[in-house]
Amino acid sequence: MTTPSPATAATPAAPDILWFLPTAGDGAYLGSEIGHRPVDPKYLAEIARAADRLGYYGVLVPTGQSMEDPWITAAALIPQTERLRFLLALRPGVFTPALAARQAATLDRLSNGRVLINVVAGGAPQELAGDGFFLDHDARYDHAREFLHIWRGLLAGETVRYEGEHLKADGGRLLFPPVQRPHPPLYFGGSSPAAHQLAAELHDAYLTWGEPPEQVKAKIDDVRERAAKLGRTLRYGLRVHLIVRETEAEAWAAADRLISHLSDDTIAAAQKRFREESDAVGQHRMADLHGGRRDKLEISPNLWAGIGLVRGGAGTALVGDPKTVAARIREYQALGIDTIVASGYPHLEESYRVAELLFPELGIPAGGRRDRLAPVPAPVAARTETRLNWEGFPPPLVAAS
C-alpha cells in the first residue's frame, strides 16, 4: 500500500473520478463464461454503495439495447447512496425533450442535485432502428441539437415554443425545477466533426475514450477552438479502464489475465461486428488502435488496448503501479482533462483497488470530497394560473427561489 503524497504546487488539482455501473453484466475474464456475472440489480446496488462510500465523484450509467435502462436504474439506486452522482446516458432519439426534461428535473430533486447527463447520439444504426430512430449519422447530431434547445429551455424555466426540422414544441413548461441551475451538467462524447461542433455549442463537458495523449490533445484542441469561436469553455474528461496493482509486474499480469480466456475467433467476430454495425467515428478509432491483434496492445506507455479486442466503446486501460498510473493521468490533466470516468473488471473489487491504491496518489482524500448537498427548490408558482391543477389542488403558493 502506498502512502498519500501531498499535493504540491506542481501537482494539478485532484480530478473528479467517476466509476462505472456494469448494467450489461460483469466478470473477471473478457469474452468468457468463466467468472461471468450476469447483470443483477443487487450487484449493481453493491457497486453503487461501494463507489459512494469510497468517495467516487459519481458513476457512469450507459445506455443501449443490451443493458438495463439507466434512468430507472438510477432511480432505484439514488436512495441507497448519499453523495454519489449519476452520469446518465440519454439518447435523444428515444425520448421526447419534454419527457427527458421532466425526468432529469425529478431525479435531480430526488437526489438533491446528483444528476449528470451524458448525451449519446448513438453509433449503431441497426440498434437505433430497432428503437424506432432512423436518422443517419450527421442528422442524428442535428436532431440532438434541436432536442437540447428544447430541453435546456424547459429546464431553465422558459415557456418553450420551438419549430425545427425534426422537433417541435408549443408552450412547453416545467413546473418542478431541477436542483442544479440552469440544468444538470451536460456531458457528451463523439469523435466526428459533427460531434465536436455540438459539444462546443451546447455541452458543459466533452468526454473522450482513452486514446494516446497526442490524439486526445488533437480532439480537445478542436473542441476548444470551436467553443472559443462561440465564446464558450468546456470541461474535458477521459473514459478509460484502470488496472492498478502495487507493482508494474502485477498490473501487467492482471491485464494479461483479463484476456486469458479470450479466443481468436471471439476477437475476430467482435471486430467484424464493430466494423459492420457501427457508424461511429470514435468506435473505428478505438478499433484502429490495435487492429484486432493481440501482440501490440501497449499502444502508448502504460496504455493497453486489450479490452477493445471485444468490448465496444471504451477499449483501453491505463495499466501500472499507483505512482505510474497517477503520472499518466497527470499527463492527460496537462492537456485539460479534469474528469476521469474509470472502470475495471470485476467492477466491485476493482472499485476498491482503485480507491485504495490510486486515490492517495491523486490527492483525493479518503472517502472523497464531502460536498454539501443542495436543497430542493420549491415548485414554480404558477403565476399566471389561478385554476386548480389536474389533481384538484391550487397551484403552489411559494415562488421558486
Ligand X SMILES: Cc1cc2nc3c(=O)[nH]c(=O)nc-3n(C[C@H](O)[C@H](O)[C@H](O)COP(=O)(O)O)c2cc1C
Binding site for ligand X (CB under 6 A): 62-64, 89, 118, 120-123, 189-192, 195, 207-209, 239, 280-282, 313, 341
All three cell numbers of 360: 492517495
Q: Is the bond preceding residue 182 a cis peptide, omega within 30 degrees?
A: yes
Q: DSSP for 274-325? A: HHHH---HHHHHHHHHHTT-STT-EEETTEE-GGGGT-SS---EEEE-HHHH
CB of residue 372 to ligand X, shortest distance in Å: 28
| 385 to 20, 377, 390, 392: CA distances (angstroms) | 43, 19, 12, 13
Which residue number, 152 or 285, has a Cβ lying nearer to ligand X? 285
CB of residue 120 to ligand X, shortest distance in Å: 4
Which residue number, 179 or 329, has a Cβ lying nearer to ligand X? 329
Which residue number, 187 or 254, has a Cβ lying nearer to ligand X? 187
For residue 358, which amino acid is it?
A: L
End-to-end CA distance of the chain: 48
Which residue number, 15 or 282, has a Cβ lying nearer to ligand X? 282
CB of residue 37 to ligand X, shortest distance in Å: 19
Long-range contacts for 262-267 (Cβ within 8 Å, ≥24 apart)? 262/29, 262/30, 262/31, 262/32, 262/309, 262/310, 263/31, 266/31, 266/310, 267/31, 267/292, 267/294, 267/309, 267/310
CB of residue 2 to ligand X, shortest distance in Å: 28
CB of residue 336 to ligand X, shortest distance in Å: 16
CB nearest ligand X: which residue?
Answer: 189
282 CB-side CA count, 13 A: 28
CB of residue 211 to ligand X, shortest distance in Å: 10
Which residue number, 91 or 149, has a Cβ lying nearer to ligand X? 91
Which residue number, 280 or 319, has a Cβ lying nearer to ligand X? 280
Residue 239 bridge partners (DSSP): 209, 341
CB of residue 380 to ligand X, shortest distance in Å: 32
Q: Which of 28, 25, 24 is nearest to 260 (CA)?
A: 28
Which residue number, 47 or 120, has a Cβ lying nearer to ligand X? 120
